[in-house]
A = this chain, B = another copy of it.
Amino acid sequence: MDAEIRVPEVELIALAERFLRSHGLNAAQTGSLARILVAAQRDGSLSHGLQRLPGTRDTMGHPDFNRQADPQPESLSPAVTRIDAQYGFSCLAAERGIPQLIEKARQVGIGLLAVNNGFHSTALWPMVERIAEAGLVGLSMNPTHAWVTPFGGTKGVLGTNPIAFAWPRGEKPPYVFDFATTAASRADIAMHRASGKEIPDHWGLDASGNRTTDPAEVLAGAMLPFGGHKGSALATMIELMGGPLIGDRTSRQSQDFDKGANAAPCHGELLLAFSPELAGGLVAFERAESVFKGFADQNVRLPGDRRYRTREQSAREGIAVSVALLERIRSLIP
């Protein structure tokens, strides 16, 4: 176990910003990405936290990456907004598009935000959480790289295709989930390889299409969707909705576009917002709470519970971060 220290949020954001600025990223992208990586670190969502910072150099090194991206939302209809991330990090584009998405969902009951051409290296939950903070229901999804074979196949076609959802709960933190539609995350498989451990045989296939417990073979072969044919169908929906529906890349096209840069996947991101007040009236929130009460009555944890508890602890005590990671980040600031 790495030694950890606790650092105030503002200091971590300042460090992340110093890092990104030192690699030539413009101020707007820097602020957005630094805040989101630190938010993940704050919530204990370490795979999407500061450990992603060193790898952003690979992404910024992609021949098409745009350090000066300045995305602006474009209204396509009373319900639809598009924003082109201009081959910068997608999080700035999503953040800049969300206010218009929220406004449209409030006006007409539902809104769609298409984020195009963004390098995507952050979790989806911070974005749907923002929609829920505005009292709306948020849903988001995107393709990634074609590492995942559909159920019944052997070769990668689909991405790890995450989906995130948020339901607003008034004074309480929103109900939020965010998961990849694979049996296990690519990071988890890579960690097993690094520590020389076997993986369960339903996580993936080797290059010949056979189930294997060797993580290296899966990374060179194909990952499997979660939940058999149902998870595979859901991953296909996400592939289509987060890619072609909004005129953006499929996971295969995103992978081809990488050109060996080992950058974060460059693709589209679909965000939807729904107004329970327009379609459901005030009873919507009451009835949703009765569902959550049915969970609480039998001590079932909600997907976001652990993150919110970690967030509270971080607010009181500072954000836990590995000393080695901090040193590595500092050493990479020229």
Contacts and interface: CB of A to CB of B under 8 A. Distances in A.
A315 to B, nearest CB: 26
Interface string A287-310: 110110011011111010000000
Contacts of A295: 150, 153, 157
Interface in A243-300: 243-250, 252-253, 272, 274, 276, 278-281, 283-288, 290-291, 294-295, 297-300
Q: How large is the interface on A (under 10, 10 to 19, 20 to 34, 35 or more residues)?
A: 35 or more
A179 B114 contact: no
A276 to B, nearest CB: 5
A248 B280 CA distance: 7
A174 B82 CA distance: 26
A250 B286 CA distance: 11
Interface string A122-145: 000000000000000101000000
Interface in A144-167: 146, 149-155, 157-158, 163, 165, 167
A244 B285 contact: yes
A230 B229 contact: no
Interface stretch (A38-46, A47-55, A87-95, A102-110): A102-110
Contacts of A274: 112, 241, 245
Contacts of A297: 155
A37 interface: no
A221 to B, nearest CB: 13
A247 B78 contact: no
Contact of A278 (B77, B250, B253, B283): B77
Interface in A207-244: 226-231, 233-234, 236-237, 239-241, 243-244
